[in-house]
Each structure stands twice: as structure tokens, then as C-alpha cells.
């Protein structure tokens, strides 16, 4: 599995369920302090990961070998899980869920101290690292993402140029016009939904914040209607609807194939997909394997501007944490810090480094050149949003409602866009009132 599971996609965690109680209460409040003497750190630690590809091809073993040059007495074992969320959820009903793991979406934020050891003061760590607010509980940080991700359109630059488009569209209307030019002047599928894979559709939630360039976008989800006129999610969902409704996507979304879409885009058979920075290296690798130029793979922001500038949200991928029950917390913390700060994992994946003083990846150089504004969302109300989402059963971090949206757009479902989005807004409002009354 090469993708993030999912952009847990990216930006912010996926929907939190309530079915995981665990047995972590007895160790609540434990800390995993950063070791000061590498020679004094020892033990065998198990690291759980969703990156089955990097374990299978030996990449993670190479990282461990580099880690051992600093920490020679620590043995690192990896366990890659194909269905990470489902498998870890079961394990967390015991104390045996690895020494280092990715925080699964099922764990509610306020329960982090039951399951994970504190990495120290949030205020102190925030001086040097991004994304600390996403795992903050009571002023302490309980996890750290090794990479940052930015949502955007992965596209074939050669196809877009062949259609006569050389500048990024600045509005949804311009974007649609560009896709129409691609359809008219090339043989490429202008936009590919990856409907059958399902998870790529959740990426559309991460337009939130980019449209209005608003660091308080998550708070607005918790306090208002995500599908009100002009709201970020409505803008994004409307664009997805229009793409499909106007015949600018694949003919039969039910037959899409995620893995096959990568070489197809690399070869120019597909023009565009809404994904994230994490996907670029995969499409570039597909280009190399297909014998095409990796430089043809481009990345562009959502077509919206504020004061004449694009805006891009930078958020965490999965956050790594130390099991509160680990008997080797010092070794586990050593791995977490090394992998975050020194492994080169972010650069290897063309991702945004969690270190605030690190340069942006090369894939985002065009963003720098064009003055794109980067923002991080305030996650203070993140838990409330997930609770409302759970209560509403809409699933903004799940693919279902956008599959319904695509079906509506292609005529496989009855109704109209305003009614569909209005219904979502009503369900959200009802859920918010229920949550607020508790």
C-alpha cells in the first residue's frame, strides 16, 4: 500500500469512532523522555506501520541501519499492516500494540494519555516542530507526524500545455474551462475520480481552509454549516459535481483503478487527479517505469484565490506515538525523534518536513515561485468536528457521501445538487445541536 491510509488523508485525522476502550488507564500520564546518551539506550522495539511497500522493499530496514549508527544497542523490528486501522483497533484492547505506532483514527484525542506516552510540553516542542496542536492534550504532546502533506491537483503538465493551458486556473469556472479544453484538444481523460478505490474521494474534504485561506476553517465546521453558500466544502463539492456532470471525468467511475491510474497519468492518458503532495513521488516513479519524463508530473493548488494569491493548507500525515505500556520507552522515543528529525524520510517522499526551519520540498518550489500562502489549521475544535460528523453519520472523512455526489452528478442517483448539499447541512446542524446539548 503506497498511499496514506488515509490522507487518515492529511490533513487532520479521519473520523473517530467510539468502539476502542483499551486497557491504558493504569499507565496514564507516563512520559517518554528524549534520551541524552545514545550509548545508554538499548532494547528491541517493534514499530507498526501502514507502509507495507517500504517494509517489503527493504527501505525501512535501511532507515533502521542508519539509526543504529547512532543507537547501536537498539534493535528495530517493523510490522507492516495492510488494513492498519482495523488491525490496530483490535490490538489496542490489549497492551500489546507495538512500541512505536501511528495513532489510529479510532482513538479520541482526549484519550491519548491512556494509550500513548507524553513527548513533553506542547509549547516547547512547537518552537521547533509543526503540527503539535493535533496531538495536544492538556498542554502535552502525544504524537508527531514525520511528514506534512498539502492537498492539490497532481497533473500531467504536457497534456495541459497541449490543451493550450499554461497558467494555473484561479477559479472553479476557469478550472472547468481548462478541463473542457483538455477534452477537446487531447485524448486524455480530463479528470479521474478514482471512484472505485473510494478513499481518494475523501481528499476533497481537504479543500477546507484552502478556498478561504482561513486557519480557523476547522472551527467553522464545528460551529456552522459546511455546505452553506460560499463555504469551502460546498465550493469543493460543487466543483467535483460539475466535473462529473459536465462529462469531464472517466465514463464509468465504477471501473476506475488506483494503481493503474498512476502510469496512465504519467503517460498522458489521464490529465488530472485531486490528491496531495504525498502522491507526487508515486506518479514520478510511475513515469520512470513507463519510460516517460517524471518532470511532466506537476502539482497545482485548488483554483481559488484570496487577495490575488493561492492558499495551501499544510497538515500532518499519521502521527507517530510511543505506546504508554512500552518497556523500552527511551528506545522508542529515540526512534520517533530520529525518524522525524534526521532520517530524511520527509525529503525522500517529497513531503513537507515537520521541522519548522527545513526547506520546502522541490515539488512545492512552483508554489514558492508563485507566492502561494501556506497555512496550518487550528485544530482546537478538531475533536468536536469529528463528534458532530460521527453523530450526523455523514462521514466527511469517509468516501460514501462523495460517492453519492458522483452518482448524483452522473445521473445514477435522483435529485439535484442544492437539495443534496442542503440535506447534508440539515443533518450536520441536527448533529451539532445534539452534541452541544450533551
- Per-residue pLDDT tens over the stretch 399-435: 999 999 999 999 999 999 999 999 999 999 999 999 9
pLDDT tens-place string over residues 58-73:
999 999 999 999 999 9
- Residue 114: inside a domain, yes or no? yes
Region 204-208: what's the mean pLDDT? 96
pLDDT of residue 15: 26
Residues 111 and 259 in one domain: no
In a shared domain, residues 113 and 232? no
Instruction: Mark whether 172 and 228 lie in a shared domain.
Output: yes
Residues 308 and 329 in one domain: no
Which three three-digit cell numbers place residue 159?
497534456
Non-local (6+) Cβ contacts of 126 within 8 A are 132, 133, 141
pLDDT for residue 310: 98
State yes or no: pLDDT of 214 exceeds 60.
yes
- 81 and 46 in a common domain: yes
Per-residue burial over 108-123, b if 16 or more Cβ lie within 10 Å, else e, is bbebbbbbbbbbbebe
Closest CA to 364 of 377, 355, 351: 351
DSSP-derived secondary structure for 33-102? PPPS-GGG--EEEEEEES-HHHHHTTHHHHHHHHHHTT-TTEEEEEEE-TTHHHHHHHHTTSS-S-SEEE
pLDDT band at 13 (very low <50, low <70, confident <90, very high): very low
Using DSSP, state whether 183 is helix, strand or coil: helix
State whether the Cα torsion 109-111-113-115 is positive or negative: negative
Q: Which of 331, 358, 385 is the last residue of a domain?
A: 358
**Tally of domains within the chain:** 2
CA dihedral 409, 412, 418, 424 (to 10 degrees): -110
Per-residue pLDDT for 194 more than 90? yes
Helix H or strand E segment including 397: none
Q: Is the pLDDT of residue 394 over 90?
A: yes
Same domain for 260 and 175: yes
β-strand 140-141 against 136-137: which pairing, if any? antiparallel
Nearest-angstrom CA–CA distance, 302 and 154: 11
Classify residue 15: in a domain, yes or no.
no
Same domain flag for 281 and 259? yes
Measure the CA–CA gap between 238 and 64, rounded to whole angstroms: 45
Percentage of the chain exceeding pLDDT 90: 88
- 412 or 29: whose pLDDT is higher? 412
* Residues spanned by the domain of 250: 151-313+359-438
The answer as to whether 287 is a domain residue is yes
Please name every residue paired with 74 in a beta bridge, in sequence order, or none if there are none. Answer: 43
Any domain includes 305 = yes
- Residues 6+ positions from 309 with CB-CB distance below 8 Å: 213, 371, 372, 373
| H runs (alpha helix) in 147-209 | 157-162, 172-185
Q: How does strand 309-313 pair with strand 373-375?
A: parallel
Domain check: are 217 and 303 in the same one? yes
Q: In this structure, is residue 6 part of a structural domain?
A: no
Distance of alpha carbon 107 from alpha carbon 316, whole angstroms: 16
Q: What is the pLDDT of residue 14?
A: 32
Residues 137 and 211 in one domain: no
Task: Dump pLDDT digits (tens) for 328-382.
Answer: 999 999 999 999 999 999 999 889 999 999 999 989 999 999 999 999 999 999 8
Q: Which H or E run contains 428? A: helix 417-437
Average pLDDT over residues 21-29: 48
The dihedrals phi and psi of 59, each to the nearest 5 degrees, come to -65, -45
pLDDT in tens, 231-259: 999 999 999 999 999 999 999 999 999 99
The pLDDT, as a whole number, for residue 28 is 64
Q: Do 179 and 300 fall into the same domain? A: yes
Does some domain include residue 264? yes
pLDDT tens per residue, range 315-336 = 999 999 999 999 999 999 999 9
Q: What is the pLDDT of residue 8?
A: 37
Domain ends where: 358, 383, 418? 358
Residues 6+ apart with CB under 8 A from 109: 16, 135, 137, 382, 383
The reported pLDDT for the residue numbered 69 is 98
Helix (H) or strand (E) holding 221: helix 217-223
60 neighbors 78 (Cβ within 8 angstroms) = yes
Q: Select from 328, 358, 388 the last residue of a domain.
A: 358
pLDDT class for 27, splitting at 50, 70, 90? low
Distance CA 278, CA 177 (A): 27
pLDDT band for 106, please (50, 70, 90 cuts): confident
pLDDT of 390 reads 93
Asked if residue 307 and residue 254 are part of one domain, the reply reads yes
C-alpha cell at position 369: 515561485
Average pLDDT over all residues of the chain: 92
Predicted TM-score of the model (pTM): 0.85
First vs last C-alpha separation in the chain:
40
Across the range 298-316, mean pLDDT stands at 96
Q: What is the CATH number of the domain that holds 427?
A: 3.40.190.10
pLDDT at 341: 97
Same-domain pairing of 306 and 329: no
Q: Which residues pair with 262 in a beta bridge?
A: none
For the stretch 159-186, pLDDT in tens is 999 999 999 999 999 999 999 999 999 9
Residue 2 lies in a domain: no
Q: Decide if 3 is inside a domain.
A: no
3-state class (DSSP) for residue 401: helix
Amino acid at each position: 500500500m503506497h498511499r496514506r491510509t488515509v490522507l487518515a488523508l492529511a490533513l487532520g485525522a479521519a473520523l473517530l469512532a467510539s468502539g476502542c476502550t483499551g486497557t491504558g488507564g493504569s499507565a496514564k500520564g507516563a512520559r517518554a523522555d528524549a534520551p541524552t546518551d545514545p550509548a545508554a539506550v538499548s532494547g528491541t522495539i517493534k514499530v507498526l506501520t501502514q507502509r507495507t511497500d517500504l517494509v517489503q522493499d527493504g527501505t525501512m530496514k535501511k532507515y533502521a541501519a542508519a539509526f543504529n549508527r547512532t543507537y547501536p544497542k537498539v534493535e528495530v523490528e517493523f510490522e507492516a499492516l495492510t488494513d492498519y486501522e482495523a488491525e490496530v483497533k483490535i490490538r489496542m484492547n490489549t497492551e500489546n500494540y507495538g512500541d512505536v505506532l501511528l495513532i489510529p483514527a479510532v482513538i479520541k484525542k482526549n484519550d491519548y494519555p491512556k494509550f500513548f506516552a507524553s513527548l513533553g510540553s506542547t509549547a516547547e516542542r512547537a518552537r521547533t516542530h509543526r503540527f503539535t496542536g493535533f496531538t495536544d492534550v492538556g498542554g502535552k504532546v502525544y504524537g508527531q507526524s514525520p511528514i506534512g502533506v498539502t492537498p492539490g491537483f497532481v497533473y500531467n503538465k504536457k497534456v495541459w500545455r497541449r490543451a493550450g493551458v499554461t497558467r494555473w486556473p484561479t477559479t472553479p469556472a476557469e478550472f472547468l474551462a481548462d478541463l473542457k479544453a483538455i477534452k477537446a484538444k487531447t485524448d486524455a481523460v480530463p479528470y479521474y475520480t478514482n471512484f472505485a478505490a473510494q478513499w481518494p474521494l475523501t481528499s476533497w474534504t481537504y479543500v477546507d481552509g484552502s478556498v478561504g485561506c482561513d486557519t480557523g476553517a476547522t472551527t467553522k465546521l464545528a460551529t456552522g454549516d459546511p455546505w452553506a453558500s460560499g463555504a469551502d466544502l460546498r465550493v469543493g463539492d460543487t466543483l467535483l459535481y460539475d466535473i462529473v456532470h459536465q462529462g469531464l471525468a472517466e465514463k464509468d467511475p465504477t471501473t476506475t483503478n488506483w494503481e493503474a491510474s498512476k502510469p496512465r497519468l504519467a503517460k498522458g492518458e489521464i490529465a488530472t487527479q485531486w490528491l496531495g503532495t504525498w502522491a507526487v513521488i508515486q506518479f514520478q516513479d510511475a513515469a520512470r517505469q513507463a519510460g516517460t519524463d517524471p518532470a511532466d508530473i506537476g502539482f497545482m493548488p485548488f483554483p481559488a484565490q484570496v487577495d490575488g494569491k493561492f492558499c495551501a493548507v499544510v497538515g500532518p500525515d499519521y502521527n507517530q506515538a510511543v505506546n504508554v505500556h512500552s518497556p523500552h520507552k527511551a528506545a522508542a522515543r529515540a526512534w520517533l525523534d530520529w525518524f522525524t528529525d534526521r532520517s530524511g524520510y520527509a525529503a525522500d517522499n517529497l513531503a513537507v518536513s515537520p521541522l519548522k526551519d527545513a526547506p520546502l520540498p522541490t515539488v512545492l518550489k512552483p508554489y514558492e515561485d508563485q507566492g502561494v500562502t501556506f497555512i496550518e489549521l487550528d485544530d482546537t475544535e478538531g475533536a468536536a468536528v469529528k463528534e458532530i460528523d460521527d453523530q450526523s453519520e455523514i462521514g466527511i472523512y469517509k468516501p460514501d457521501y462523495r460517492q453519492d455526489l458522483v452518482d448524483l452528478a452522473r445521473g445514477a442517483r435522483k435529485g439535484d445538487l442544492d437539495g443534496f448539499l442542503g440535506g447534508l447541512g440539515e443533518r450536520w446542524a441536527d448533529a451539532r445541536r445534539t452534541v452541544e446539548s450533551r
